[in-house]
Amino acid sequence: MKKRWLPLVTAILAIAMLLTPLAKLEVHSQIAPEIASQFPATISLGSVMLRGAGALPVNAVPALAVADFGQWMLAAGVAVLLASAAVSLIRKRGMLLLGLAGSALAAGLLGSFAIQAANVSNSLLFTLLMETQVWIYLPVVLAAAQIIILLVAVIKEKDCVDLSDKTWRLAGGVLAIVAALCLLLPSHVVSVPETITASPADAAVINRSLTLLDEALGREANLQTIGTEKAVFADVLTGDLAALEPFSADATNIKGIFVIKTVTTAPNMLLLAGAVLLVLALILAFIPRVDRWFAVCCQVLALVLVAASVLGVMSIGDGDMFASATRQLNKLGLGTITFAPMLMALITLASAACGVMSILTANEPYFVNPIPEKQRLRVVAIALTAVSIGLMLAPGVTFSFTKPGMNKVQSTVSLSGAQAMIFSTPEDMLSPKSTQGKALYSEKASKNGNLTDAGVADIMSGLTGIYGIASWVSVAVAAAGLVMIILRKNKKATIALLLSAAVLRGLTWLIVTLQMPKVMGSAGGTFFLFGSIPTLIFAAFFAWFADHEELPKKYKLFLMMLPFLVAVFLFSYLPLYGWSYAFFNYQFGKPMSEQEFVGLKWFTELITNAGHRDNIVRVMKNTFGMSGLNLITSWMPMAFAIFLNEIGNARFKKFVQIFTTLPNFISWALVFSFAMAMFAMDTGIYSKFMLGIGAIDQPVAWLNSGEHIWLKMWGWSTWKGLGWGAIMYLAAISGIDQELYEAAQVDGAGRWAKIRYITLPGLLPTFFVLLMLSISNILNNGMDQYLAFQNSMNKNTIEVLDLYVYNITIASGGTTLYSFATAIGILKTVVSVTLLFSANFVSKKLRGESIM
Amino acid sequence: MKTAKNNKPHDTNRPRHLKLSKGDIAFNIVNYTVFLLLTLACLFPFYYLFINTISSNELVRLGRIQLIPKEIHLENYVQVFKISGIMDALFVSVARTVLGTLWTVAGCAFLGYLVTKQEMWLRKVWYRLIIVTMYFSAGLIPWYMNLRNLGFLDNFWVYVIPGLVSPYNVILVKTFIEGLPPSLEESATLDGAGYTRVFTSVILPLITPILATLCIFSAVGQWNSFTDTMMLMPSGKNYTLQFLLYKYQREAQSLAALVRNTQDTNALANVATKQTSLSVQMTVAMVVTFPILCVYPFFQRFFVKGIMIGAVKG
């Protein structure tokens, strides 16, 4: 690439962006005029870079001192960005790659800072004090641009990829160090204080902030919500968690703190393991005569662990813990949690991935895998068995206490396999530590009448016993299998042992779940519990081939396919389990075993219940009406294509084609924006035009009326889909044999004759297939369009089946009709599949071709 | 349209040296006019929205901006980025588009390659199990409850992870790979390359045209979807731009108030640049449209190619 100065330009621009007042934090003056006068309105990031949070007027507003601005992050980002640009100027092999890595790091650092700044200024304590400008993201964008430029350069200049083996190993190793370092940097997520007590200094700051809030509340009437939350702070500062109780009904409120308190160890351990593995990978990468695959495996494993940790941290509970924890801590004024650790983890992932790539690229032939080829599959089997035994000893069963009607885990206790094996019941399980858990626990135990605290404790100890014994047995069985693989004993017996250990594991979980007293909550399996089952099955699989040099191809391919099959199962087949809701009186949040079975009640109700029946009839009318209009006019794209093909001017043709397809690529929400602008009652061009020509004498509410809604919807869907639908026909036209036209020309056929006798017959098969498909999709007219256009005036005539189902369930917030909606869904699928097969049958009969 | 050069699209116009008949001239005039009008009808809403966002908001409120922009200003665009949540939504939209597209295209490409391997154990069974999911759906509630049970509610990854396997894309890739000469793969296998190696070094470079098509479709789909946010993000996390647009259309009034709060007093005094609910809603719509308008002309040919491959199959 000749333009090596380009990255430098972006880097300098990014830095300039940082130093100009454009990229700034704005401190508002909404608190009190006398305070406002004490600090400047804007602070450039340049000064933040030099002085950190000290650049903010902390003397005037002590709350700002809590803002933990990573000045080192900014400074490092700037330095790395500049260095990477400079490095990529050097015309030497590998320098571009180095520059690329640098700008990636810089983007991470700058982005981390930007998000942190935005985060801090969005927090409750600071919203009144400061705001982040959009421009703060610009340096990140520029760094990203630099990455793209360098990437293009690397791809174009392939010589830099042609490095010696040693260099690649070095790069892999260095990346491993970077990744490991990132992991060891302070990560706030996992170091949240166990109890919420503020230090005296913090408390002073928070008190000061509360005073400021007080003042603000006095002035601003619309800050009511902050008022209620402020009351919570005051209580929490005294250390009384129970004060949060009344707020727990609020879906977004309390979860963060509780979750952090209970599950910090697992992500921590995963991260630590990841770091250790990365260091190991580094060492392995440098030892000659060791196969590079070991280093790669280490890094891959580290990748998986770190990813698991990141995902775990991000999605604990039924949501994104990170966001809620951030919000919580910020609200409490302890807000040091930032996105930094997550970005660190992401950088770790990226550098570990690059490390894998670079070590993989090092392919000098003289490195030998110390494991003889014949033993490799055996080693895999042994490793898998060992891992599964480890998993059995890790925390296995999770007990959750759930509050009725809340669907939110309040307190979770994990019982590790190892713990159960020495028959000790964790203290938390018998009496939960957290105030809230305790309250729930005794409430539930007493409600049940015959179950006292002691009674529940007995049951729990019993469960521990069952779990412990079963754990012993399954570990012993698996260990026996392990010994047999190592000693190369009877293959079939080995496999039988491994598989029976897996079955035992499954049974254990089942028994514990069934025995769990319902009053208390539920026992759930964790990754560790279920993890050991597939590992055992895979161990058995590899044990079967332990004597082979490599897996037979057919199974190798199957193993590659397996992740995809799992995904298909999870997202396409598992939902079918939900069809069972249609036969129950499904109540939200209860396990299936407690639901009331009602048989075909919901299906018969479709007909017998007058209210439901009327609605269904109305909705079906709309569905058929609008699908029908589209069906009747489904010849239009074909006509469009035929006549477009008659256009002689190729440029005009292309112009038409490009711009008539455009509407297909915008969302229905956007289409509705167009409609809102053009058909607005007083201001839209439609009203103005119609008034102008005298077609109407006063503005009409075009969007807010139910009149002719089918036609209007048909109009919009035609506007959006006509040009797009024609493409397929245009493709078909270009497939028609040109000689036919030439022959017709010779015979003196005119334009119409050629269309009538050549083009049209050539297109009919395509038309037929599309018609058949749209007939089978008559019930699936989607909901995006109707949802966007729906309002209270036209709801009766616009509601199609899909929209109706959504409206009565998720949209309404009620869950009483879930079963009914599922029943509708089942019928819909059955009808659709039947229609599809009939269409296919018709197609086969008429044309001898299948459409599926 | 760029079809194969040796098979020129049929052109029924008479050769130029022949005089056009009166009927032909009349036909051409009508035909060109109709298509011109159709194209304008497709473009006009974009134009209309655009001039309404850059003209004086007061004139827009009075309905005086219909064809020509007046008193042009860019204040709407500056202000709209100050609305809290817009930047986050932009980030989420970009992230889901990039990650979701990479994930689904990578998945479908590799899966499409795997299912062409005849020697796989029970290949046909697995292939059919995947393809058949195109024809049935469990319905809204089971789908929703399933994602909920899997912990995907309020979780950003719900935009990305479930998209791994898309049967239609798998079919497209599979058909495309089957059209490649098998000798390439065979020679690579003889050289000792494993399946992944063959895929990355032989197959992947050859199937880039179809992958480009899949990328475009998937990216547009990701960028445009808003109903999934609506259903799967009940506590207001991970909102996307499209969903914000939808939301703003519903909550027009409160929105204008929100914007006015973030504006300083000077801007408030100036009626021409004062934000109204309509102006904000339209500006957000334009912001959402720009990326599509920007990439659309470059990728238009991929759409055509993609649907043609689909048509051959269909």
CB A542 within 8 A of CB A476: no
Q: Is the Cβ of B192 closer than 8 Å to some Cβ of chain A?
A: no
Q: Within a domain: residue A255?
A: yes
Is residue B158 within 8 angstroms of chain A, CB to CB?
no
Using an 8 Å CB-CB cutoff, list chain A residues near B82.
Answer: 134
Residues 6+ apart with CB under 8 A from A820: A602, A605, A612, A808
* Count of structural domains within chain A: 4
d(CA A411, CA B22): 85
* Residue A566 vs residue A236, higher pLDDT: A566
Give the tens place of pLDDT for each residue, B38-52: 999 999 999 998 988
Assess: ipTM above 0.85: yes
Q: Residue A830 belongs to what domain range?
A: 581-632+779-852
Give the per-residue pLDDT at A261.
30
* pLDDT of res. A222: 28
Question: Which overall architecture, per CATH, does domain B86-232 show?
Answer: Orthogonal Bundle (1.10)
Q: What residues of B are in contact with residue A806 (Cβ under 8 Å)?
A: 140, 231
Closest-approach residue (CA) in chain A for B242: A669
Q: Which residue has the higher pLDDT, A644 or B305?
A: A644
Burial class (CB in 10 A: 0-12, 13-18, 19+), A650: exposed
Mutate to test the interface with B, among A662, A773, A783, A802 (most CBs of B within 10 A): A662
Q: Which of A318-332, A388-402, A462-476 has the lowest mean pLDDT?
A: A318-332
Q: In the predicted model, is pLDDT for residue A365 greater than 70?
A: no
pLDDT digits (tens, 9 = 90+) for B21-70: 888 888 889 999 999 999 999 999 999 989 888 888 777 777 777 788 88
Q: Do A121 and A130 touch, CB atoms closer than 8 A? A: yes
Percentage of chain A beyond pLDDT 90 is 10
Is B60 in Cβ contact with A683 (below 8 Å)?
Answer: yes
* A&B contacts, CB < 8 Å: 311
Residue A267: predicted pLDDT: 53
Residues A441 and A406 in one domain: yes
Selected residue with higher pLDDT from B112 and B72: B112
Would the pLDDT of B213 be above 50?
yes
Q: Which of A342, A370, A398 is the last residue of a domain?
A: A370
| Helices assigned H by DSSP within B115-181 | 123-131, 140-149, 167-178
Q: Does B72 contact chain A (CB < 8 Å)?
A: no
> A151 and A172 share a domain?
no
Residues of A in contact with B133 (CB under 8 A): 568, 572-573
Which residues 249-278 on chain B approach chain A with CB closer than 8 angstroms?
Answer: 249, 278
Q: Indicate if A397 and A510 belong to the same structural domain.
A: yes
- From B165, B227, B243, residue closest to A568, measured CB to CB: B165
Whether A171 and A275 map to the same domain: the answer is yes
Give the pLDDT confidence of A627-638 residue by residue, as tens digits: 999 999 999 999
Residue of A nearest to B249 (CA): A673
The average confidence (pLDDT) of chain A is 71
B220 and chain A in contact, CB less than 8 A? yes
Q: Where in chain B is the domain with CATH 1.10.3720.10?
A: 86-232
Q: Say whether residue B13 is in contact with chain A using an 8 A CB cutoff.
A: yes
A243 or B19, which is more confident? Answer: B19
Determine, yes or no, domain membership for A649. no
What is the predicted pLDDT for the residue at A671?
92
**Distance in Å, alpha carbon of B306 to nearest chain A alpha carbon:** 10
Residue A298: pLDDT band with limits 50, 70, 90: low
Q: Is B138 near chain A, with CB under 8 Å?
A: yes
> What residues in B contact A682, CB-CB < 8 Å?
63
The answer to whether residue A86 is domain-embedded is yes
Average pLDDT score over residue span A656-677: 89
Secondary structure (3-state) at A416: strand
Instruction: With a cut of 90, say whether residue B103 has pLDDT above it.
Output: yes
Distance, in Å, from the CA atom of A71 to the CA atom of B288, rounded to the nearest integer, reads 34
pLDDT digit string, tens, across residues B79-100 = 777 776 787 788 888 889 988 9
Please tell me whether residues A114 and A181 are part of one structural domain: no
Residue in B22, B140, B165 to test binding to A, most A beta-carbons within 10 Å = B140
Residues A477 and A388: beta-carbon distance below 8 Å:
no
Q: How confident is the model at residue A60 (pLDDT cuts 50, 70, 90)?
A: low
- The reply to whether A253 and A187 lie within a common domain is yes
- Tell me the percentage of chain A whose pLDDT exceeds 70: 56
CA A349 to chain centre: 17
CA distance B12 to chain A (A): 6
- The model's pLDDT over A738-770, given as tens digits with 9 standing for 90+, comes to 888 888 888 888 888 888 888 998 888 888 888
- Among candidate residues A343, A370, A397, the one where a domain is terminated: A370
DSSP state of B236: S
Q: Is B3 a residue whose pLDDT tops 90?
A: no
Q: What is the pLDDT of residues A300-312, one digit of tens each?
A: 666 666 666 555 5
CA–CA distance, A235 with A242 (Å, rounded to integer) = 9
pLDDT at A36 over 70: no
A557 closest CB neighbour out of B38, B117, B143: B117
Q: Are residues A415 and A363 in the same domain?
A: no
Contact B263, A705 (CB under 8 A): no
Mean pLDDT, rounded, for A415-429: 64
CB contact under 8 A, A685 and B135: no
Report the pLDDT value the prediction gives residue A135, as an integer from 0 to 100: 64
Tell me which of A136, A162, A188 is where a domain ends: A162
Quick one: pLDDT at residue A632?
92
> Does A336 or B220 have the greater pLDDT score?
B220
Q: Rounded to an integer, what distance in angstroms lies between the CA atom of residue A262 and that of residue A264?
A: 6
Is the pLDDT confidence value at B151 over 70? yes
Contacts of B295 in chain A (CB under 8 A): none
Give yes or no: residues A146 and A174 share one domain. no
Contact B185, B198 (CB under 8 A): yes
Give the pLDDT band of residue A575 (cuts 50, 70, 90): very high
Instruction: State the pLDDT at residue B270.
Output: 52
Asked if residue A727 belongs to a domain, the reply is no
In this prediction, residue A233 carries a pLDDT of 39
CA dist B161 and A247 (Å) reads: 33
Report residue A714's pLDDT band, with 50, 70 and 90 as the boundaries. Answer: very high
In a shared domain, residues A31 and A152: yes
Same domain, A114 and A182: no
In terms of pLDDT, which residue wins out, A201 or A840? A840
Q: How confident is the model at residue A236 (pLDDT cuts 50, 70, 90)?
A: very low
Q: CA-CA distance, B305 to B212, in Å (whole number)? A: 10
Question: Angle at which helices B277-313 and A650-661 pack, to 10 degrees?
Answer: 120
Instruction: Please tell me the distance in Å from B244's CA to the nearest CA on chain A.
Output: 10
Co-location of A339 and A381 in the same domain: no
- Neighbouring C-beta atoms of residue B168, cutoff 10 Å: 14
Which has more pLDDT, A558 or A145?
A558
Fill in the amino acid letter for B231: M
Q: What pLDDT, in 10s, does the model give residues A158-204?
A: 554 455 556 666 666 666 666 556 555 433 332 333 333 344 444 44
Tell me which of A146-155, A420-429, A509-518, B215-224 is least confident.
A420-429
Beta strand ranges found along A417-504 (DSSP E): none
Q: State whether A465 and A493 are in the same domain.
A: yes
CA angle A687, A691, A694 (to 5 degrees): 145
pLDDT tens digits along B158-198: 999 999 999 989 988 998 898 888 888 888 888 777 888 88
Q: How far is B282 from chain A (nearest CA, A)?
A: 7
Mean pLDDT of A447-456: 62
User: At B112, is the pLDDT very low, low, confident or very high (cuts 50, 70, 90)?
Assistant: very high
Judged against a pLDDT cut of 70, whether residue A295 lies above it is answered with no
pLDDT band (50, 70, 90) for residue A790? confident
A691: tokens are 């008034």
Q: In this complex, do B27 and A851 lie within 8 Å of one another by their Cβ atoms? A: no
Q: Tell me how close the Cα of A720 comes to any Cα of chain B, in angstroms.
A: 8
- Whole-number pLDDT of residue A244: 40
Helix H segments across A315-434?
Answer: 321-332, 340-361, 376-393, 417-421, 427-430
* pLDDT number for residue A58: 66
Q: Which of A131, A137, A665 to mutate to test the interface with B (most CBs of B within 10 A)?
A: A665
In this structure, what is the dihedral angle of CA atoms A392, A394, A397, A403, given to the nearest 10 degrees?
-170
Mean pLDDT over residues A7-16, rounded? 72
When pLDDT is averaged across residues B205-228 and rounded to a whole number, the result is 88
In this predicted structure, what is the pLDDT of residue A738? 85
Q: What is the mean pLDDT of residues A102-116?
A: 74
Q: Is 50 exceeded by the pLDDT of residue B269?
A: no
